[in-house]
Structure 1
Amino acid sequence: MVLIQVYTKCIKTKYKVRLLSKGTLIFITTTALSIILPFILAYQSKGFWMKRDIFYEFPDVRFQGKYIFAASTNNITLPIVCSSYPELMKYFKSFSSCSQIKVREIDYNNDKIIDELFLGLKINLPGNMEIFSFTLMLPLYLKLHTPSCPLEMISDIILQQQMPKMFSNLTLVGNLNVEQFYPLQCSSKKINTAFNYSSVKEEHILKNFKIENIIQNQKRKNITTTVSNMLVIQESKDKNHFMLNLKIKFNEQQFYYDPHFLQIIKWAWVQYYVIYIVIQCIAKKIMNYIFENRLVLYYEKKPNKID
């Protein structure tokens, strides 16, 4: 006759001890160690509490339509100052030589996020005037669409270029780089607008438009923008004007932030539970060894026994 197994069942045996006994002491000790020891081991392994986390996003960057261009020439009494700020041009209107400005925002993949910014600036040069150096300031509107960490702010690009030799056509090509000084305070229910203000205070005070003051106001912000990997292309053509072409490519950036409490607990619980399983298995084997070998006094209770 062939026999097959169709059903199995385990018989549960209970081991009972008195309240004040060695068995109770061993039970309390092993239970406490199986709970506390995993926490100690996980904490001492470093990185138990998640203090920082990062995410990557392609920021939505838009040109605000404002700029400041200031250049020093071979005539110290005739600098060149061009700007779209009317408050600044009240003082430097006679020094403005910019005759043309072109701005183009390019979206290559049609995802409604700008991939490249082009700016062309034409400056007329009367007589034998030459430009030795210049500073260009462009305010940008930066926005993050991450649901867990939305952000809206105004940042600035400040370019300073030395020209040991006069060129009539200068092209600058680079990538937008986001610099962060401390973690973001993220909230999915509120957009972070703590730095949504311009570094240029548009008031009738000339010192607000000084480059050093603009840079200081920019550095007070947590996030700043710079141009990295910049290539310089110089050409000599017509000496009656100076043509500045700027191409900035926007790419994916890294941002770091302070994680939420639930995110910290989730990461810590995974580390704790992995060690807890190992410690719990060891504690269970110790308890089985003690009670099966009758190393302590106990009362055995099985389902087929009557109390």
Structure 2
Amino acid sequence: MALYELFSHPVERGYRAGLCSKAALFLLLAAALTYIPPLLVAFRSHGFWLKRSSYEEQPTVRFQHQVLLVALLGPERGGFLAWSTFPAFNRLQGDHLRVPLVSTREEDRNQDGKMDLLHFKLELPLQSTEHVLEDVHIRDAEHGVSPVLLCCSRVPVVCERGPEAAAEAASKLRWPRCPIQLTTILMDPHPIWLVGRAAEAPFVINAVIRYPVEVISYLPGFWEMIKFAWIQYVSILLIFLWVFERIKRFVFQNQVVTTIPVTVMPQGEVYKEHLS
């Protein structure tokens, strides 16, 4: 009758030698070469200790529908036009007050519950003899127009664009109280400025303000540094463990160092052998 192998299991084999033998010295040297070089390789590869880390987070920004506008008029007319959503500021402007038409719309493009951008449009009515000053030397991407928008994040964010006079006027207003105030300067490296308009046509500001994802940098704590270093060390250590395991198996199986091979039997088989 033909016989077939139905089941198999590996047999563990041990190798015995004295603690002062060459075999023991070889194991000690192999252990040192297994665990120390991966640490040196990981450390010398730079970035072993995580000194600074960062993560991305999109702030929750909402436009509060509060605006302050200062428009400088041409030199032949002189003066300026101003308007804001703050009655106290408007009362101080006198003949310089001009009420514009403002329309805004916020979008949440990725539907994550946080607004991604703001569409802002302002139409300032002008008389036929008035025109907004075009500054030949563009400073802060401006042409004599200074809108200041008030947005609300986890902390208030005042979005300024224009000369310092508008920012100083805005600072005198009563902004919502909050532990921290952040200021975002809106800058357009390539502004579109169209000169010339129809009689009594309004001056139009059309802007799209994006709320980008912010990269926040911070100093990592002790355990985060250890976790980052441990991952690098173990990833290299696994390679050394695999290599030196096969080196030790070759050395002992081929008796490169003198040892006494013994077959290690399971505990149950040893007990049965004594009973017999």
Q: Distance in 1 between matches of 2:66 and 2:159?
A: 11
Contact between 2:128 and 2:199, CA under 8 Å: does it hold in 1? no
SS in 2 for 1:25: helix
| Higher share in strand | 1
Distance 1:302 1:116, change over 3 A: closer
Q: Tell me if structure 2 keeps the 8 A contact 1:67–1:137.
A: yes
Query: Which of 252, 256, 263 is matched with 1:291 structurally?
Result: 252
Q: Which of 155, 159, 162 is 2:161 aligned to?
A: 159
Give 1 or 2 for the bigger CA radius of gyration. 2
Which runs of no fewer than 5 residues in structure 2 stay unpaired? 134-143, 174-180
Amino acid at match of 1:274: S
Give the 3 Å change call, closer, same or farther, for CA 43–94 of structure 1 in structure 2: same
Mark the runs of 5 or more structure 1 residues left unpaired by the alignment. Answer: 143-151, 162-199, 211-219
Q: How does 1:29-108 map to 2 (within 5 A)?
A: 29-50=29-50, 51-55=52-56, 57=58, 59-75=59-75, 78-86=79-87, 88-89=89-90, 92-94=92-94, 96-107=96-107
Question: 1:121, 1:244 within 8 Å by CA — same for their partners in 2?
Answer: yes
1:136 to 143, 147, 150: 147
Change (3 A) 1:244 1:102: same
CA contact (8 A) 2:132 2:203 kept: no
Give the TM-score, by structure 2 length: 0.66
Count matched residues. 243
Distance change (3 Å), C-alpha of 1:123 and 1:45: same
The 5-angstrom pairing of residues 71-220 of structure 1 reads: 71-75=71-75, 78-86=79-87, 88-89=89-90, 92-94=92-94, 96-107=96-107, 111=111, 113-125=114-126, 128-132=129-133, 133-142=144-153, 152-160=154-162, 208-209=171-172
Residues 299/290 of structure 1: CA separation in 2 closer, same or farther (3 Å cut): same
2:264 match: secondary structure: coil
Distance 2:56 2:3 in 1: 61
Query: Contact 1:74–1:130 (CA<8 Å) still a contact in 2?
Result: yes
Whether the 8 Å CA contact 2:69–2:148 is kept in 1: the answer is yes
Q: Deviations over 1:213-262 (max 9, x none)?
A: xxxxxxx95x8464557652636444446433323153663524446766
Report the counterpart of residue 205 of structure 2 in structure 1. 245
Q: Does 1:278 align with 2:266?
A: no
